[in-house]
Structure 1
């Protein structure tokens, strides 16, 4: 009898017994599909035969829980044989599939006769459980059922849940427990997959800790590489900033903000997002504005561009709603896809950890960073909720402003994000950027840790003299290339300063 698999790998299995409520089963299947988790279902005579195909079609496994769901230890060998065969025939008639080789005794009641009888019929594995969530009692909330799993997470564990009418909080509990367990590094497996880990105590390579990169300019590249003088389709641009870079088919594409005049009539800035490309990082070809007042009638900045599901998406800063745009013809054609948050937000990043989507953003007055989460399985919708932590990086008496400053590094169980900082002492907007680590990420938990400075004002009289308030990265060889912006006076006597864009490599 298998109650737990002996392994040090963080793999666990969800098993659903007494699948006797069609309504409950439909909700369970929908939520498992939402989070792309496969489970093992132990069927009985009350299981709706028309839904067994749905279980199998979603990639789940099935096992025999007897037709009658009576105590197997109180049956004769002949009675148990008949009971198991009756359920097996029901499933074969409905689907053509067999319930072997997995058997689970009702109530977990077994003895030597039960095990021998099941084994003689091809049920070579009698599956018990490590933890009974007691969802069958009908008295537990979804959070209590979820806690029964989350408070008892262990490698190789098997968790008992139910699909009967009493377990009406189980579908919701599945969403909570799966999301939180994934955030802690656990992966879900069916029973057959879990059994393959038996005796697997192989060394688990720890995920490398993020090391603050030491940056230097490329020897063959003269910074800045993009300035307002490169922008040919905007009248009187004031500067270029907030660069994001993405590597596609050997070509680097840079999307960046073109700073423009304040529009007195609309009382708003009219910034745009523009594009340039390069195959060697040294020579950049400017193309055009791809998002902004000219193309979409919106203010657009902070062009966070990334790939998702074989398409390219942009979540720009509009100083308004957080909206997603998709590439109709990458890299120049973009169209509205969906609204994620309604309000007044800037500098948004979207990322996935452990099957849950997270979003960091700054809401007016744009001086702190908030965390949101989305458990729908897809980030491109309005199912975002404010995380219980709320403001995760908040202004204080030394730093008056924090905002996103580029795309984060996303690891298996933590994230490192760049954050722009405006010090109280100098009051220079985005004078430098810092690295912050988000760990213990789940819809209910997060730990925030300051790691150190990323880039900042160089005080060198050059293009990055006054501030460096953005740093984004893309793969380059075995490491990364970093795009940054720098602020410097171009007419110091009048206080006129310009943002330009430079490129750095990682030396350590």
Structure 2
């Protein structure tokens, strides 16, 4: 079942960044000083280009048969070792979106993601509905999450924000953009996090991902679940990758799309 895809990004210049060929884990960067942790908009590092701002991103701006794998982290860590091992075995990149509460409760898991060379986005601090928050409250959520993720990972988080529940509104997107983040959502969620008790199976999770395959597709999965230790997305991951490869797709890194110079908007 496809999620509606919208992409108003036709002007993004990705030339020269195609590939990130031969993904290899990178060493984590040193943690930023405490003074930088409270204001993400002034933190060092690559900035999202203007073409990634102004709207939610549900498909990446590319015509290539390429897709991105992403994982949210807000509950348990039951699937993270399996997910990281599979990505390592295949030498594939992924982007992880932990909440700040998750980073504080599971710092070793967040550090393991960073140590494996994967990007870390921001999924808010406490996973609220952003439509119910004021601009100041949204800023507090984003900045608190940034501080928690930065502290746990020991590296610079990406300027990518994923809304809790994917519940975006134009004013919330504008607030997140003003903080220096692109709103990276997804083309399809596997719904594996629902677990067997939510009516999901590995096959259903794979089918939801495969049905969304298209140039620039962003697949959302989770490292945990509501399934009492059953993490369907961890089991589905190799099957999703197999299907992508068989269909001629390349798994790409979201960091390819950070084409603006550091410190610019």
> What's the TM-score, normalizing by structure 1?
0.37
**CA offsets per residue over residues 162-183 of structure 1, 9 Å max, x none?**
1232261111100111012112
Instruction: Tell whether the 8 Å contact from 1:156 to 1:194 is kept in structure 2 after alignment.
Output: no
Matched, 1:67 2:112: no
- Is the 8 Å Cα contact of residues 5 and 195 (structure 1) preserved in structure 2? no
Alignment of 1:79-478 (within 5 A): 79-123=137-181, 125-138=182-195, 139-166=199-226, 168-193=231-256
Instruction: Verify the 8 A CA contact 1:15 1:40 in the aligned structure 2.
Output: yes
Distance in 2 (alpha carbons) for counterparts of 1:11 and 1:97: 27
Counterpart in 1 of 2:60? 5
Q: Measure the CA separation in 1 of the matches of 2:74 and 2:93.
A: 16
Q: Show structure 1 runs of 5+ residues with no match.
A: 197-508
Aligned-residue offset at 1:106: 0.3
Tell me what 1:50 maps to: 108
Contact residue 17 and residue 163 of structure 1 kept, 8 A:
yes
CA drift at 1:71: 0.7
Q: Is the 8 A contact 1:13 1:157 kept in 2?
A: yes
Whichever of the two has the greater Rg, that structure is: 1
Q: 1:18 to 1:96 in 2, by over 3 A?
A: closer
- Structure 1 residue 194: deviation in Å? 5.6
Whose helix fraction is larger, Structure 1's or Structure 2's?
Answer: 2
Separation in 1, partners of 2:179, 2:257:
22
- What SS does structure 1 have at the residue aligned with 2:220? strand
Q: Secondary structure at the match of 2:79?
A: helix
What is the deviation of 1:95?
2.7
Larger strand fraction of residues: 1
After superposition, the C-alpha distances for 1:276-304 in whole angstroms (9 at most, x for unaligned) are xxxxxxxxxxxxxxxxxxxxxxxxxxxxx
Aligned match for 1:24, one of 79, 90, 109: 79
Structure 1 segments, 4+ long, off by >4 Å, are none
In 2, the alpha carbon distance for the partners of 1:104 and 1:56 equals 18
Shift of 1:19: 4.0
Count of paired positions: 195
Tell me the secondary structure at the aligned position of residue 14 of structure 1: strand
Counterpart-to-counterpart distance in 1, 2:216 and 2:258 = 9
Distance 1:173 1:186, change over 3 A: same
CA RMSD of superposed structures (Å): 1.8
Using the size of structure 2 for normalisation, the TM-score is 0.69
If asked which structure has higher relative contact order (CA below 8 Å, sep 6+), I would say 2
Name stretches of at least 5 consecutive residues in structure 2 with no aligned partner. Answer: 1-55, 260-265
Equivalent residues of 1:100, 1:122 under 8 A apart: no
Aligned to 1:264: none
CA 1:188–1:19: 2 relative to 1, 3 Å: farther
Q: CA deviation at 1:151?
A: 2.7
